[in-house]
Structure 1
Amino acid sequence: MEAFETDLPGVYVIEPDVYADHRGDFREIWNAREYAEHGVTATFVQDNLSRSKPRVLRGLHFQNPRPQGKLVSVFRGEVYDVALDVRVDSDTFGQWEGWTLSAENGRQLYVPEGFAHGFVVTSRTEALFHYKCTDFYAPDAEETVRWDDPDLSIDWPVDEPILSEKDRAAPGLHELEREQVMFTSIPRC
């Protein structure tokens, strides 16, 4: 397994070992001891699986209060995955990074508390997207940042994505009240 911290503190890209032969392949998608050796020490309490059609964009979502860290991976298809720093006291507030995750490359992304997260399906087939979360889903704590906020200039690789009404109507990052995005420390996984 290889893992590296990105330019966004606490965000990790993880590339699990893949063992392939004529039957297919095998990979571990979570091993607390192995991941801790590479810097990811999160405790997960909930797993989610979403199924999305091509061009579906989900996000940018986060929870406050009750923030969630997420270890995400793709079981089928391919997505472009984005992490956005929403910690108002962070040196990287408002900065984002994006990565291609697919069933084929097996890549995972750890997005810690204090980051908004979103993805768009880039494959021609549906995507199965897996989330391991560090806190339970709390609908009353959910916040959304507009996917095409011009202040962020996220380079989404899909024109005219398919969106939920909630994501379509989301405010820009700088339109959110400070209390909605107030995280006071750099979270470490």
Structure 2
Amino acid sequence: MAKYDKADLERRMHGAVESLKHDLAGLRTGRANTALLDPITVEVYGSHMPLNQVASVSVPEPRMLAVQVWDKANVGPVDKAIRSAGLGLNPIVDGQLLRLPIPEMTQERRKELSKLAGQYAEKARVAVRNVRRDGMDNLKADENKKEISEDERKRSETDVQKLTDSTIAEIDAAAAAKEKEILG
């Protein structure tokens, strides 16, 4: 069992927030942006790979994304991954190039993106709670091994809970800001 390490918990919780911010950056409101496709993974060569490892993404015009697939055999899986990503994009396949027209932001589309932002935030909250659980487990183990006293464990548990609360508040703020931007 690992030893309690507050710096490691902070780093891991901060990582969940950064991951969320990265995912939220991909939720664009009506303008083409390559970050929109960053969360997409494609099932190729027997494993899941990020889209940017099997194709290059560019923005040829403000409301269009172009995905140039490097290996012809991966065109189908890339097309499928984009369609099933919940982004409301329907690729137009032209050989190894997939053109993705960015749809106009309808109210329904805004609600979909807002819901997706909520799902990203919940994924980040779960990650933070898992880090919190690891920290609490490590503290109990350290106490059971007589490496720390019960008072030290309780003090540290309070620190872990404060860190968890502030990190979740940061996640909620990022999600709320993105929803406000999406819903305009």
**Normalising by the residue count of structure 2, what TM-score does the alignment of the two structures yield?**
0.22
- Larger strand proportion, structure 1 or 2? 1
| Larger RCO, structure (CA 8 Å, separation 6 or more) | 1
Larger Cα-atom Rg: 2
